[in-house]
Amino acid sequence: MKSKRALEIGDIAIVAACNNEAILDANLRRSPLVADGGAPLHTEWNAPSAAVAYNRGLKATNANLVVFAHQDVFLPKGWETVLAARIAEVEAIDPDWALIGSFGVGLSGAEFGPVWSSSIGCIIGRVPTEPMEVQSFDEHLFVMRRSAGIQFDEGLPGFHLYGTDIVQTARKAGLRSYAVSLPLIHNDGYKEQLGQDYTEGYRYMQAKWRDALPLVTPVCTISWHGLHLARSRWRNFKYRKARRVEASSVSIDPRIYASLCGWRDLTLPDHSLQSRAQPAHAYSSPRAGGSDQS
């Protein structure tokens, strides 16, 4: 296995599709990796879709490792050190990997994290004890190896399901994607229901990946008949009162959430080993999944 090392400026760039300066300042820009100048942050404002924003970000940056992150994500201190260790673990088994992510759905349908999600008020996802190949990512954060040579499909409308689309694009090219333990705070707000914009993305994915269906995503299974979408909306409505209670405030400093999760400083001795050895509570909740910009 390759030795761990701190990622240096030039190794990594962060790209975010943004539409709210206050949310960006309170979360992603507050991350020590960004605030202390450890990695450049490239923002694309008010793009027509995530795919357009992220392809623009790819063209505007040069680093081989590109972190695509939501504006409401907070990366705890030392996150880049953990990232370097996880990349070494992936490269030990697959030097030609395409993507790694902090929350993904494995080929078996299991969800892997761990990630704090404010929208449901808890840590979600099982902690993988080794890199787990996935069929989809939650869009809040994933990392692309630029030399894999893949791009986002600008035909996919809006800000949903591109985490599934890019994984499937990589698979079609013979490349694999992995969920790894990258603890972070997703300070996302409560979402009541899946909107029409989600339906448009879902229909596009149904047509594009029909031969690969069903595809299990963190929010809703994409199936040829689409009944999973209707069922997800019904569950969101049925459990809306409980989900409102579960949600945590997005006005709380994400550093407080990181501290409460035990992730205040990921550079502490053996932290990465401890996080892998102690599997997190695997929580599954009916999630509405709002705009993937936040």
Burial of 23 (C-beta count, 10 Å sphere; 0-12/13-18/19+): buried
**81-93 pLDDT tens trace:** 999 999 999 999 9
Bridge-based pairing of strands 185-186 and 115-117 is parallel
Please identify which residue in the block is written with the tokens 């979408």.
Answer: 229
DSSP 45-70: ES-SBHHHHHHHHHHH---SEEEEE-
**Containing H/E element for 79?**
helix 79-93
Confidence of residue 269 (pLDDT cuts 50, 70, 90): confident
Determine which of 7-21, 135-149, 211-225, 247-261 has the lowest per-residue pLDDT on average: 7-21
Q: What is the reported pTM?
A: 0.91
Extents of the domains making up the chain: 12-277
What are the two backbone dihedrals, phi and then psi, of residue 177, each rounded to the nearest 5 degrees? -130, 150
> For 199-243, how does the pLDDT look when each residue is reduced to its tens digit (9 = 90+)?
999 999 999 999 999 999 999 999 999 999 999 999 999 999 999
Average the pLDDT over 100-105 and give the result.
98
Q: Which helix (H) or strand (E) holds 227?
A: helix 227-238
- Rounded Cα distance, 164 and 161, in Å: 5
Within 10 Å of residue 106's Cβ, how many Cβ atoms? 18
Pairing of strands 41-45, 12-18: parallel
Distance CA 19, CA 248 (A): 22
> Residue 28 pLDDT > 80, yes or no?
yes
Lowest mean pLDDT among 93-97, 173-177, 277-281: 277-281
- The fold adopted by the segment(s) 12-277 is Spore Coat Polysaccharide Biosynthesis Protein SpsA; Chain A (3.90.550)
How far, in whole angstroms, is CA 237 from its chain's centroid? 25
Residue 182, SS3? coil
Categorise residue 256: left if φ over 0, alpha if ψ from -120 to 50, beta otherwise: alpha
Q: At residue 172, what is the residue type?
A: K
Identify the helix (H) or strand (E) that includes residue 9: none
Rounded mean pLDDT of 181-188?
98
